[in-house]
Structure 1
Amino acid sequence: MNISNFTFKITKAFENSIKRFPVTFLFSLAACITMISIVEYRTSPPSTLQRLAMILILSIPVTLTAKIIWERRQEDYARLLIYYAVSFVFIIGYYFIYLNKLDYISTSRIVGSNIIFYLLFLLIPYFIDRKNFEMYSIKIFTAGFITSIYTGVLYFGLSAILFTIDRLLEVKINPETYLQTFFICVFIFAVNYFLSLVPRIKDNFTKDVFPRAFNILLNYIVVPLLTAYTIILYIYFFKILITQNWPKGLVSHLVLWYSFITILVVFFLAPIKEDVKIAYYFTKVITKAIIPLILMMFTSMGIRINAYGVTEPRYYVIIAGIWVLLVFVYWNITKETKNTLIPFTLAITIFISLFTPLSSFSISRYSQNKRFENILKRNNMLKDGKIIKNPNIDKKDKQQISSIISYFEYRQGIDKLKFVPSDFNSSKMKEVFGFEYEALYTPDSIQYFYYRIKQNSLIDIKGYDYFVQINSYNIDTTNMKEFSFKYNNSNATLYIFKNNILIYSKNINEILKGIYEKYNMLQKDTELAVDALTYVDENQNIKIKIILNNVSGRKGEDQTPTIDGCEFIIMFSIK
């Protein structure tokens, strides 16, 4: 195929996609523009803009689902307008109800909602008992795979052109341009090309058109690999049973992702399992052999939950494990399976875990509050619903209390933690509990942190002649008129030169140490007032104010903070 024919094919595909899904195209275009705008901010884009991007991205599968429902029912265009109107109402309502702020819960929900609507988009044309749903799914999967390859080639090609222009023609290309190019490739090219490959409702598929390459991939590569992996897992679990040494957090990852992949493989093999012996015997054996492994996973998670309570990640492992187990049980007890139930029940499972009273957030909040209460009672620190100071409790209990407080600050909000005063925050631990925060170290004794100034903060520049923003990610010297600035990552030191003569230097770790001693590291992401991240200094040459716009790093067992990255706001005057 020559270039002109390929260009014509792509153009025609785009034309067909936009004609069939015009509203989805508009939302995808809007999402692209919004993401490009966010990149322009470089750091700390407005929360409203981020939430707008999230809801626009969700609008893509929502409007797709509305159009697919209309195509399935073969109704008139007036009904299509109604479906779109309902979609718009849903999108607006979702934005104001579930996306009214940007935090861990709203982000988790938006990710889950996207998955739910993409599952519905896949499911609706064949729900509930239309035949050959697996073949239709293979077609969709193949379309996604081809689109990914084309998009990757397009992005890397455009990036190579930008890089060449930058380096050879000396036309400055900002690093942000590469990310913006990626968003254009994804939201403009990838979305539209993929939708051009989505089959029409009237299209029929049979097992006779099962892709030969896909057949070889599944039966002669994937199936042997999964078989070997299953054998290794059984050997591993027999070792666990003999030694009674349960690994921390590893078993769930070993089993859960393997179970998801196995479900996908068994699902894709369904059309040909009666004709291909490898597929038949693999399907028959694996759907039974995997069940004891899942039960072992539940045992491992039970040990973790008994020790540390339920958190959202552990909840997701449990509910995903329950769904996986039910799928395999269903395949074992049903002779004529309806595989449309697999994405349908997965969508329901995700909905339950995010939006119901049995959600991960509700269950985790209850579990961690109960664990908190038990620790306080065990140490005689709770009386009439109020916390009593006790600085002499066991170090392990101090660590557990600290980790619970960190969990609520980072995930749920400290106002959801029972018994603490209404104005409590992590800096008041000694005042409320009688002891400072006790870090529960990772196995490598490293704790990571991220400090940043509050969004939309007002910065006072009075009394200074110059203002500049630099970051530690660019170690090259930044030149501005007669001044130049350099940050050395190896020793975390900022240097300021005037006419190539050093007039000021400062080790940023020294600034950070004071912040750490005052505010500690109770969570991975801590938002502080401008004054808390401000350092004022002067010498015989310069009067300077340094604001750590954001700073990330880690602290080892020696308690010394180490900077991994930092962005500075610097104001100074020359004496």
Structure 2
Amino acid sequence: MKIKFPSISTLWSSFLKVVFRFPLQVLVAIAATIAWCLVVDTSKRTEEELILFLCTCNLALTVLLTVDLYAESNKFSVAKQWVLRLIGLLICVSLHFMLKPAFYLADVYRIALLAFAFHLLVAYSPFINKGSANGFWQYNKTLFLRILTSALYAGVLFAGLAIALVAIDGLFNVNIKWEVYMRLFAVVTAGFMTIFFLAGIPSDFEELDKDDSYPKGLKIFTQYVLIPLMTIYLVILLVYEAKIIVNWELPKGLVSTLILGYAVFGILSLLLIQPIKDKEGNGWIKLFSRFFYVMMIPLVVLLLLAVWKRVGSYGITESRYILVILAIWLTLITIYFLFSKKQSIKIIPVSLSILAILSTYGPQSAFSVSKFSQVKRLNMLMKSNEEEDVKQRSAVIDYLVDRHGLTVLQPFTKVNLRELEHEMELKDTAQYRYAIKRNKIDTAYSLLKVKRTEYAASFDYKQFEPETGTLTDIKGYDYLIPIESYNDKFSQKIGNVELRVERDKQSKSTKVIVGDTVVDFDILKMSIEATNLLKAGKLKGSGGKFYLPTELLSIVHKVGNMEVKLVVTTLNTTINADKKEELDRWFNYNGYLLVRIK
């Protein structure tokens, strides 16, 4: 058997077909590829803008694909199709300017929900009010297999090209930097993989209704891997439910995740076996499909109990709102498939996409409901003098400001928070978003006169390192002595002279003693300077780690006939380094003493 590889002309012809069929999608893929390549070496501010643009491209790709597939299946004219495309494009451009994920964590959730909803729209847009169940299943099977094939091809292509670059780097000393590999990854995934996937999307939707093929590999995977795993998880969950009944205790929070995981993979299994579940010779598959929703009844009850426990104790947040919605959806889906005589698998993606879209904006959205719930909870906590309630205040304030901004706390102060927040965000040209968000939270604590709990203060924990990394320049010095955070006192003989080191936990300084001469290396001052630079947005870094110029992490003193230089390689402190009570919990450092004999 000969394997015939496609010629260059065939590949070019296929590419042109994709361009003519999905012109805007190809442009979006190219734009996303360029943006991803630029993310690699840009400033923090630009990086955040590019990442938002990448998210918008993802939304635009699915929205435009939904529009085109709907227009194709309904045989719309070219003019009508372009009108729909422009409407879809306008929606995505509007979302790009409305969303501010760098400032509000709530918008990160919105992007995720919109992406989920728009991907589901692609799954059923050609079959809205038309097409058979078989055509719908064959269409989604094709998309599913095409995604897997695209990922496989992209993975092999990237690995092959990356190995080639490594070989060139090693053989010819080209010094290929890591940024090149990241750009290559962007081109292969955002560019090649997207266009390759688009090339495999079915175009004849009526022909899909006549297709009754079923991949043998899919049946084997579902029957002998997925369904047995689901059965094991079901047994574990049912035994746990029996334990709850016997001990008469409320379920743990983890159980809700396990039930949802079981439901997702169980429903996926049912969708995968839909065309063959009633055929002869598939007894195990038929048994699973018949009893899956029956066995979901006790699990749904357990899920609703777990949700009630979490919401009743701590109010609603975005994640708990999504959990509540999924629990209600799962309950209704279970009832539908148990009692409906005319069952349609199309209801699964349709209902999920509608719920996801409804959860993004409006008074019923996850963000409006959770904001109302947590503001109400904070109001209750502010009026209470119970020790446990006082401790919970800071966690609620952090949550509200982080997700919804400073203005959400307007009911608690007469200060115009909208104007104040606007002034803070105008300073974005001089500050990183992190510093602005930190200032908002600090302002909230000050206005509400709330003291941070230890839990809230732990988020202020920061680590500073030199820009040069672990590389320490010892040129001009005779000795190098390690300074470890666990070793408070030690001595070192240098010739006939004894050098002693004592770390003072109270003053946060390190004393170097030679004979009768004592010199203090003020690490506290170094820590305060570092955190002030961070608050001013002048440091690079992410998460809890930031980088300082080497000279700011080193101190030089003369001790007798020696010059001693303390070089800090890791400084762990808090954003409030000037507050002793917080510093005592988080302060430590490692480094070296460099000694030169004069």
Does the TM-score normalized on the shorter chain lie above 0.5? yes
Residues 1:420 and 1:244: Cα distance change in structure 2 (over 3 Å): farther
2:586 matched to which residue of 1?
A: 560
Shift in alpha-carbon separation, 1:89–1:105, aligned structure 2, 3 A: same
- What is the CA–CA distance in structure 1 between the aligned matches of 2:70 and 2:455, rounded to whole Å? 50
1:87 to 2:88 alignment: yes
Identity over aligned pairs, percent = 24
Q: Give the structure 2 partner of residue 568 of structure 1.
A: none
Q: Report the equivalent of 1:414.
A: 406
Match for 2:367 among 361, 368, 373?
Answer: 361
SS at match of 1:172: coil
Separation in 2, partners of 1:489, 1:187 = 47
**How much has 1:356 moved relative to structure 2?**
2.2
Name the residue aligned to 2:150: 147
Return the alpha-carbon distance in structure 2 between the equivalents of residues 376 and 74 of structure 1.
60
1:208 to 206, 212, 226: 212
How many Å apart are 1:241 and its aligned residue?
2.6
Partner of 2:222: 218
**1:161 positional shift:** 2.0
Measure the CA separation in 1 of the matches of 2:87 and 2:305. Answer: 44
Structure 1 match to 2:182: 179
Deviates more, 1:290-299 or 1:157-166: 157-166
CA pair 99-434 structure 1, distance change in 2 beyond 3 A = closer
Q: How does 1:6-405 map to 2 (within 5 A)?
A: 11-41=12-42, 43-99=44-100, 102-131=103-132, 132=134, 133-202=136-205, 203-206=207-210, 208-246=212-250, 248-275=252-279, 276-379=282-385, 394=387, 396-405=388-397
Question: Secondary structure of 2:360's match?
Answer: helix
What secondary structure is seen at the aligned counterpart in 2 of 1:357?
coil
Q: Output the CA distance in 2 between the equivalents of 1:508 and 1:46.
A: 36
Shift of 1:87: 2.2
Shift of 1:185: 0.9
Instruction: Say if 1:244 and 1:85 are closer, same or farther in 2 by CA, change over 3 A.
Output: same
Query: 1:338 deviation in Å?
Result: 1.9
- CA spacing shift, 1:10–1:398, aligned 2, 3 Å: farther
Residue identity in the other structure for 2:216: R
| Partner Cα distance (1:346, 1:75) in 2 | 27
8 A Cα contact 2:318 2:367, kept in partner? yes
Please provide the CA RMSD for this pair: 4.3
Q: In the alignment, is the contact (CA less than 8 A) between 1:58 and 1:113 conserved in 2?
A: yes
CA 1:267 to 1:309, structure 2 compared with 1: closer, same or farther past 3 Å? same
3-state SS of paired residue (1:179): helix
What secondary structure is seen at the aligned counterpart in 1 of 2:212? Answer: helix
Amino acid at match of 1:250: L
In the TM superposition, residue 213 of structure 1 has moved relative to its aligned partner by 1.1
Amino acid at match of 2:470: I
**Post-superposition CA distance 1:91-131 (Å, at most 9, x none):** 22222334597532222222222222221122111223421
SS in structure 2 opposite 1:171?
A: coil
1:478 positional shift: 8.4
| Worse-matched range after superposition: 295-304 or 166-175 | 166-175
Does the Cα contact within 8 Å between 1:13 and 1:196 map onto a contact in 2?
yes
Bigger radius of gyration? 2
1:529 aligns with 2:536: yes
Q: For 1:18 and 1:551, how far apart are their aligned partners in 2?
A: 54
Contact in 2 for aligned 1:42/1:176 (Cα 8 Å): no
Question: How many angstroms apart in 2 are the aligned matches of 1:147 and 1:551?
Answer: 46
Counterpart Cα distance in 2 of 1:125 and 1:270: 19
Contact 1:475 1:489 in 2 (8 A): no
In structure 2, list runs of 5 or more residues that go unmatched. Answer: 421-439, 487-509, 511-519, 540-545, 558-562, 591-598
Q: 1:216 to 1:561 in 2, by over 3 A?
A: farther
- Secondary structure of the 2:273 match is helix
Deviation per residue, 1:159-204 (Å, 9 max, x gap): 2222233333221222222222111111111111111111113332
Report the CA distance shift for 1:478/1:314 in structure 2 as closer, same or farther (over 3 A): farther
Given that 1:128 and 1:341 are in contact with CA atoms closer than 8 Å, whether structure 2 keeps it comes out as no
Aligned counterpart, 2:593: none
Change (3 A) 1:301 1:89: same
Deviations 1:292-330 (A, max 9, x none): 212211211211111111111111111122222222221
Q: One-letter code of the match for 1:271?
A: P
For the 8 Å contact 1:403–1:439, the answer to whether it is kept is no
Report the CA distance shift for 1:103/1:334 in structure 2 as closer, same or farther (over 3 A).
same
Name which of structure 1's ranges 27-36 and 119-128 shifts more when overlaid on structure 2.
119-128
In structure 2, the CA distance between the partners of 1:512 and 1:237, relative to structure 1 (3 Å rule), is farther
| SS of structure 1 residue aligned to 2:369 | helix
Deviation at residue 282 of structure 1 after TM alignment: 0.7
Contact 2:293–2:338 (CA<8 Å) still a contact in 1? Answer: yes
CA separation in 2, counterparts of 1:96 and 1:264? Answer: 35
Q: Secondary structure at the match of 2:41?
A: helix
Counterpart residue type for residue 230 of structure 1? L
CA-to-partner distance for each residue in 1:64-98, whole Å, 9 max, x for gaps? 12211221121222222222222232222222334
Secondary structure of 1:5's match?
Answer: coil
Tell me the TM-score normalised to structure 2 length.
0.74
Deviation digits for residues 521-543 of structure 1, max 9, x if unmatched?
Answer: xxxxx983248998697646999
Distance in 2, matches of 1:194 and 1:64, equals: 12
Q: 2:40 aligns to what SS in structure 1?
A: helix
CA distance 1:121–1:561, change in 2 (3 Å): farther
1:354-375 Cα deviation digits (max 9, x unpaired): 1121111111111111111112
The alignment partner of 1:69 has SS state of helix
Partner of 1:235, secondary structure, is helix
- Corresponding residue for residue 456 of structure 1: none
Distance 2:274 2:364 in 1: 33
Q: In the alignment, is the contact (CA less than 8 A) between 1:402 and 1:439 conserved in 2?
A: no
Contact 1:260–1:324 under 8 Å retained in 2? no
